[in-house]
């Protein structure tokens, strides 16, 4: 199989057989938001400028997004060369202040942020944390939604991870960070008590 060229805003990566667009971009150190790498969080949403992306890479997206050729880089095994752009969907951020850092184990940090504006979220949702230079990562909210402005996160240090290493080593109590509106469609609805739950712990 001939490698497929992926062009992203002036940068290029060649996708090998059995490799996703996200894997190819990360291999070439091309920065792109991502988290679960399984199509659930939709952090790696990008848009194809020309060709229609494979249908499997648009799983779970709204019809309007599919028509605009948006797709998930972590699910896309390209069938041809692609020119893509980062998601242009509007993101809404509020300012947050770091109020606590506590090591839970050598690799996992409990990060506490107090948001300027209250957030309405459900158990199972996540937010985007963005530092001043624009580098952004997704993290699940670890506390109860009873606390509308007080958010906690479990940040696992990844070897060579630009964001997680920065949080562990450089981010200090009193620093500010941008926090997006809650995202994600896989969450618990308290009023549906008859619904069965399957709870799986992964990552940190």
Higher pLDDT, 9 or 202: 9
CA–CA separation, 136 and 54 (whole Å): 26
Q: Is 49 in the same domain as 18?
A: yes
pLDDT tens by residue, 112-131: 999 998 887 878 888 999 99
Q: Above 70 in pLDDT, residue 89?
A: no
3-state secondary structure of 121: coil
Residue 113: domain span = 93-180
Q: Is 54 in the same domain as 128?
A: no
CATH number of the domain bearing residue 140: 2.40.30.10
Q: Which residues of 111-136 are buried (b: 16+ CB within 10 A; e: fewer)?
A: bbbebeeebebeeebbbbbbbeeeeb
CA–CA separation, 75 and 133 (whole Å): 27
Higher pLDDT, 146 or 47: 47
Q: In sequence order, what are the beta bridge partners of 93? A: 180
CATH number of the domain bearing residue 22: 3.10.20.30
Residue 189 counted as domain residue = no
- pTM for the model stands at 0.59
Residue 192 counted as domain residue = no
Residue 198 counted as domain residue = no
pLDDT tens by residue, 143-187: 987 777 899 999 999 988 999 999 999 999 999 999 998 887 677
Residue 204 counted as domain residue = no
Last residue within a domain, chosen from 43, 69, 86: 86
Q: Is 98 in the same domain as 162?
A: yes
Residue 74 · residue 44 · CB < 8 Å: yes
């Amino acid at each position: 199989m001939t490698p497929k060229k992926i062009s992203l805003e002036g940068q290029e990566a060649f996708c090998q057989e059995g490799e996703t667009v996200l894997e190819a971009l990360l291999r070439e150190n091309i920065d792109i938001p991502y988290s679960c790498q399984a199509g659930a969080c939709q952090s790696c949403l990008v848009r194809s400028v020309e060709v229609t992306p494979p249908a499997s890479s648009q799983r779970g997206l709204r019809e309007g997004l599919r028509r605009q050729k948006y797709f998930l880089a972590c699910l896309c095994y390209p069938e041809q060369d692609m020119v893509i752009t980062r998601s242009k969907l509007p993101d809404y951020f509020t300012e947050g202040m770091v109020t606590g850092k506590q090591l839970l184990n050598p690799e996992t940090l409990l990060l506490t942020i107090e948001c300027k504006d209250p957030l309405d979220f459900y158990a199972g949702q996540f937010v985007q944390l963005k530092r001043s230079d624009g580098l952004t990562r997704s993290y699940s909210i670890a506390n109860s939604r009873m606390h509308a402005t007080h958010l906690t996160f479990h940040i696992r240090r990844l070897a060579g991870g630009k964001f997680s290493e920065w949080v562990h080593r450089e981010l200090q109590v009193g620093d500010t960070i941008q926090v997006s509106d809650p995202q994600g469609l896989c969450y618990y609805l308290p009023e549906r008590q008859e619904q069965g739950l399957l709870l799986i712990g992964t990552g940190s």
